[in-house]
Structure 1
Amino acid sequence: MSHNIRKYLLAPFVYTAALLLLLEEWLWDASKRLFARLPLIPFIVRLEAWVAGVPPYVALVIFVLPSLLLFPVKILALMSITHGHPTLGLIIIVSAKVLGTALVARVYTLTQKALLSLPWFARYRDIILRFKDRMIAQLRATHAWQQVEAGLAAFKEARRRWWATFKEHWSGRNRRNGHGNRLARMIKKYAARRRDRE
């Protein structure tokens, strides 16, 4: 009986933690993709090359630095909330979270090889990842989460069908109006000019 009571009391905390971990994971992956696509200026390229080649403990300092630098920003956000500016405080917290996750994700990508050469870092990283996977698995096993996933899947399928219908309708209208042929002719003329110049 006491085990069941404890389980029900802890459930909201487990699910909240799992949701936060899922959000963190999404931000992490989205940040890595975004930074990979951004055009980088030469200075940033040189800086990233230097960061990727630093020794393990220097890499550790660089990895921890963004979180330390954002700590005063979070304190500022809490002060804004306590002084009657909850919206401003929330905007600061969310912005710091997104920026911090993006920065840490990029730094980790650059320093991962050096960091994982530290045995204790690799060990604790594996412990944290196993804990995160266990929490998320508990959340995904719930009926409520499965309903949310089913709803999202239905929404994505409806969006995909709508987009396919829209594209088909648009291309059909262009063909009827002659826009499609005109565009094809323009592209061919441009390609021919390029070949002539070469």
Structure 2
Amino acid sequence: MLKLLIAPLRWLGRLLMAFVILFEEWGWVPLQRFMAWLARWPPLKWLEDRIRALPPKPALVVLALPFLLAIPVKLLAVWLMASGRALLGLLLILSVKFGGTALLARLFHLTQPALMALPWFARLYGRWTAWKQGVLDWLHGTLLWRQARALKRQLKQLFKRWRQQWRAMMHGGASS
């Protein structure tokens, strides 16, 4: 009887984790790319070179910075919401989420080689990536995922046709 109750909860938990992982995955790469673009600015490039050269333990401290810096800002957002400025508080939380994710993605990219020298980190990272891949494999096997992928392909084709029609119309109108 207990298994019958736990199975749907386990499925729901897996689905929620899959959405969290997908959000991080979809945001992680583009945000990290954006931060790499910003790092072409010489002062940031200089800072990144210093971060990349850190030994493992200081690299771990640097990696924790986005989380630590976000705490006071999130508290400010909660205060804003409690003061009747809910939209401003929500915008602040969303800004911190995106900015923090971008910063964390870049810092992880820079510090991962040093962090992998810590045996406990390498072990946990290996477990995390294996678990995450299992959740993603499960998600990719669901009917919902397959339908969403099919819809995405259809929308891309539709957008491509619209863009071709738009270009043809613009070029046709320009030559008249």
Counterpart in the other structure of 1:26: 26
Post-superposition offset of 1:81:
3.3
CA deviation vs aligned residue, 1:48-82 (integer Å, no higher than 9, x gap): 11111111111111111121111222222233334
Counterpart in the other structure of 2:77: 77
Post-superposition offset of 1:151:
1.4
Post-superposition offset of 1:29:
0.5
Note the residue ranges of structure 2 that are not aligned, 5 or more in a row.
none
Residue 3 (structure 2) pairs with residue 3 (structure 1): yes
Deviates more, 1:93-102 or 1:135-144: 135-144
Counterpart in the other structure of 1:187: none
Quick one: which amino acid aligns to residue 156 of structure 2? K
For residues 1-198 of structure 1, the aligned pairs below 5 Å read: 1-38=1-38, 40-174=40-174, 176-177=175-176
Aligned 8 A contact 2:74 2:92 in 1: yes
Alpha-carbon distance between aligned partners in 2 of 1:123 and 1:160, rounded to the nearest angstrom: 44
Post-superposition offset of 1:118:
1.6
Post-superposition offset of 1:83:
4.2
CA deviation vs aligned residue, 1:149-198 (integer Å, no higher than 9, x gap): 22122111111121123223333444x34xxxxxxxxxxxxxxxxxxxxx
Alpha-carbon distance between aligned partners in 1 of 2:29 and 2:12, rounded to the nearest angstrom: 26
Q: SS state of the match for residue 40, structure 2?
A: coil
Q: SS state of the match for residue 156, structure 1?
A: helix
Alpha-carbon distance between aligned partners in 1 of 2:63 and 2:129, rounded to the nearest angstrom: 17
Deviates more, 1:152-161 or 1:36-45: 36-45
Alpha-carbon distance between aligned partners in 2 of 1:77 and 1:153, rounded to the nearest angstrom: 38
Q: SS state of the match for residue 152, structure 1?
A: helix
What is the TM-score with the length of structure 2 in the denominator? 0.87
How many pairs does the alignment contain? 176
Note the residue ranges of structure 1 that are not aligned, 5 or more in a row.
178-198
C-alpha RMSD of matched pairs (Å): 2.0
Alpha-carbon distance between aligned partners in 1 of 2:119 and 2:60, rounded to the nearest angstrom: 13
Q: SS state of the match for residue 117, structure 1?
A: coil
Quick one: which amino acid aligns to residue 159 of structure 2? R
Quick one: which amino acid aligns to residue 67 of structure 1? F
Radius of gyration: which is bigger?
A: 1
Alpha-carbon distance between aligned partners in 2 of 1:128 and 1:13, rounded to the nearest angstrom: 16
Counterpart in the other structure of 1:182: none
Alpha-carbon distance between aligned partners in 2 of 1:131 and 1:82, rounded to the nearest angstrom: 38
Change (3 A) 1:130 1:39: closer
CA deviation vs aligned residue, 1:87-109 (integer Å, no higher than 9, x gap): 22221221111000100111111
Alpha-carbon distance between aligned partners in 1 of 2:42 and 2:166, rounded to the nearest angstrom: 41
Change (3 A) 1:39 1:17: closer
Q: SS state of the match for residue 54, structure 2?
A: coil
